[in-house]
Chain A
Amino acid sequence: MSGLADNGKPVIDWLGDERYLSLAELCRLTRLSADELIEMVEEGVLDPAGGRPCDWSFPAPAVRRVQVAVRLQRDLRVNLAGTAVVLELLDEIRALRSRIHILENSD
């Protein structure tokens, strides 16, 4: 499988916020089991729409969120609850950095 389209360019899958994934799709992309992802939902790392796991719908940026969560657990030995806190703080830092950049540019 080359992953190249007929025009020789790689096949691109945009994991943007207008695309949604089922639990099974998220399992396939992140290579985690449904149980592991359900645990992440229970700890607040992920916040899907929908009631039962079979109805869950995740915005596609959840893939990156899971990947970062796995790296934080593996590299820094952060537990799942701590991972949820770190991810929220990282989101907040990103938003604050954008804001600072806008304010600094207006000086």
Chain B
Amino acid sequence: MRYKDYYEILGVSRDATQDEIKRAYRKLARQYHPDVSKEADAEERFKEVGEAYEVLKDPEKRAAYDQLGSQWRAGQEFRPPPDWDAGFEFRGGGFTDADASHFSDFFETLFGAHGPFAHAAGGGRRGDRHGFQARGEDHHAKILISLEDSYEGRTRSVQLQMPELDPQGHVVLRRRTLNVTVPKGIIAGQQIRLTGQGGPGIGGGPAGDLYLEVEFEPHRLFSVEGRDVYLNLPVTPWEAALGAKVPVDTLGGKVDLKVPAGAQSGQKLRLRGRGLPGKTPGDQYVVLKIVTPPATTGAAREFYRRMQKEFSGFDPGRGVTGR
């Protein structure tokens, strides 16, 4: 088990006032809230900050934690000294309505159901109620899928880790693999609900549901906006000027795209209905990017000079460059 430096996590000094701790927590909670933050480790950080605040906001738990001493460093291998909690009195029930099963082993050992403050802890409450029946908790997770998974409605194997309390009240990480058929045409930010795959029911109540929120993996070729798919297509100046038929990738395979004569760089050409499927399927937009051949040989340079003469009146930068 690794020592956790709750002060470092909240970015406050060990002699911070309760107000300073509260302010630091609120700022970090806003910064790392998984619904708001885009940082990859937002959820982990949010939980860590919540755990730190759970201890430091409570003067009694904070005093007990401080008593471990300041010689510990974050991440250092940690065993609580015997009788480390001696002499501290805790108010029963004054603990937390937070779900302690999401907290670390470190927290669990000190403040969890079998820790010295079990009577005050949130863990282990569930089995205590006789004759009580309730539906299990709903669980939430994000999954990354490919655009092709959505386009084709593929079955994906999803690995999930869920913190759970075992019968002794210890936090255990339960790993499981679910085979999920991705609905055809699902888009980023949408959810699928797996009925009865959430937390177990209490007292024989039904299990909760598992909500999986979908995000797309970055794609080698395509970007996506809603159901519309975007592809950048480099073309030669003569294809753009004269028009051409160019094979392009779509999610459904290659199709021939007609580049109209006189096309310009940045021009968007639409392939109707070639985006993600749906009642109104998305479109694929192909954005042209004209690439000029390098003038690395004398002949090439000569050719560009001839073009310069041939198009002497052509000045696309007029009015912008001050020419």
Q: Is A54 an interface residue (CB 8 A)?
A: no
Q: Which of A13, A64, A72, A76 contacts B195 (CB 8 A)?
A: A13
Chain A nearest Cβ from B222, distance in angstroms = 9
Docked complex Cα distance between A51 and B279 (Å): 25
Residues of A within 8 A of B226 (CB): 98
Q: Which residues of A contact B188 (CB under 8 A)?
A: 94
A15 interface residue (CB < 8 Å to B) = yes
Contact of A102 among B29, B194, B223 (CB under 8 A): B223
Encoded as 1 (CB less than 8 Å from any A CB) or 0, chain B from 139 to 154 comes to 0100000000000000
Nearest residue, chain B, Cβ from A95: B225
Contact of A94 among B29, B33, B189, B194 (CB under 8 A): B189
B residues 160-190 in Cβ contact with A at 8 Å: 178-181, 183, 185-190
Residue from the list A8, A15, A106 in contact with B289, Cβ < 8 A: A106
Contact between chains at B279 and A76 (CB < 8 Å): no
Q: Does A50 contact B (CB under 8 A)?
A: no
For B210, give the chain A residue with the smallest CB separation. A10
Contacts of A63 in B (CB 8 A): 191, 193, 211
Contact status of A67 and B140, CB under 8 A, knowing A72-B35, A98-B225: yes
* Given A10-B194, A18-B278, A98-B225, A76:B29 Cβ within 8 A: yes
* Chain A residues within 8 Å of B, Cβ to Cβ: 1-4, 8-18, 29, 31, 61, 63-64, 67-68, 71-72, 75-76, 86, 90, 94-95, 97-99, 101-102, 105-106
Closest 10 CB pairs of A and B: A3-B196, A10-B194, A14-B183, A13-B193, A98-B225, A102-B223, A3-B195, A15-B191, A1-B196, A68-B35
For the A-B complex with A11-B196, A12-B193 known, give 4 more contacts whose Cβ atoms are closer than 8 Å. Answer: A10-B180, A12-B183, A16-B186, A64-B213
